[in-house]
Structure 1
Amino acid sequence: MSKVYKSVFAAAVMILVLASAGCAEMPAGSDPGWSGSLSPEETGGEDDDPGYLTPATPYPTATSATAGPTLSRPMETQPTQDPYVTLFDKTIEFSPAHPRDAYSFNLTAPPLIIEFDVEPKMITREKHTTSDYGSKKDIVVTQKYPSEDSWFTVTVRERESGKIVAEDGFGKGFGTATDKRIYLGRFGDYLIELAGNEATVDIKMRAGGI
């Protein structure tokens, strides 16, 4: 065999080998267009079903109308019962013609509570003065204040000895507050004196029991 023939023969064998290699089957996954089945770990998709759940039919939805809210009436709160007994509840007008009242009471179930609200006689006066604003015109200012002769006192004494155990009022050194309360928390046989002038007074007395 000549050298030329050997060279041609070797070239032909090489071509056959290369041709055979080109027709060989490519391994799965090496080709970007490969469409073979992959495991869940290889795909990495979010909709993968690992097989833990079994498909089922949804629960039937009720077709009836939804019931509206039920309105409930709030419970009525019972008023708190006054623990005291009312002994006296009057409105008295004190004047020079009717300056004083007195009542005796044996307090066996303290306390004794005396509440009063004074409406004194009011005096109206007009005062001529000059305005502090604008053209400084002369003006008349109306002033209203309690009469200096208007007063009221409640005095509680021990009935036998006359000793004062409680006292309060309006005017005459007792101040200008018109609504006050006296609280007496000890047993005793008492004389309760009500006195006043040029005043209308609402008076209420209560005790723990009789």
Structure 2
Amino acid sequence: MPDPSPIPRLKPGRRSENRRENQRLILAAAEKVFAEAGFGGATMQLIADMAGLPKANLHYYFATKEELYRRVVQDIFEIWLHAADSFDAAPDPASGIGAYIDAKMEISRRHPAGSKVWASEVMHGAPVIQDYLETTLREWTGGRAALIQGWIDAGKMDPIDPQHLLYMLWATTQHYADFGHQIETLNGGAPLTEAQWQAAKASVKQIILRGIGALPGA
């Protein structure tokens, strides 16, 4: 005779925790698979295997591979956006851009796969996220360029093209993620240590800030 007792159900709070954890596992796995295989080579099954979850779980949270891919790209870009919060309240380029360099290099250290996904997408002509580039990225870049121009107009740094400065900042900081294997190889086959990361940040800040005349005596 069937057991008439009700099937145990997770409490609402526990369900929310499980949902968040499953999404975290899926996104972390997707980041890695998309970074290694690209959008075309990645499959939902590969991502499910990497996450250690049934494939059906992925489709419960993300209906298609493209939806999951866009979420991965959006997440890394939003992390980059938050890294630029230092610009908004900074009184000068040394503190604003210096903090931005610190934040961006820390992101490259902690989210290398996400950075590689973004780089690969853009290098292939942004077939999936072109709309994102034309809206969110364009608006963000315009806002940061205006802040830099304000520092230039106030005589706090040399008169340079703000957009080209931003391109240089992106290229330099993201190099530590996108070309991490090359850096490890040149570092004797080992990842950078904590001390090496701090030294790298200090060097990049000194080179760029002195180069744009944002440091005393520059």
Q: TM-score, normalised by structure 2?
A: 0.19
Greater share of helix? 2
Greater share of strand? 1
Q: TM-score, normalised by structure 1?
A: 0.19
Question: Highest relative contact order (Cα 8 Å, sep 6+), 1 or 2?
Answer: 1
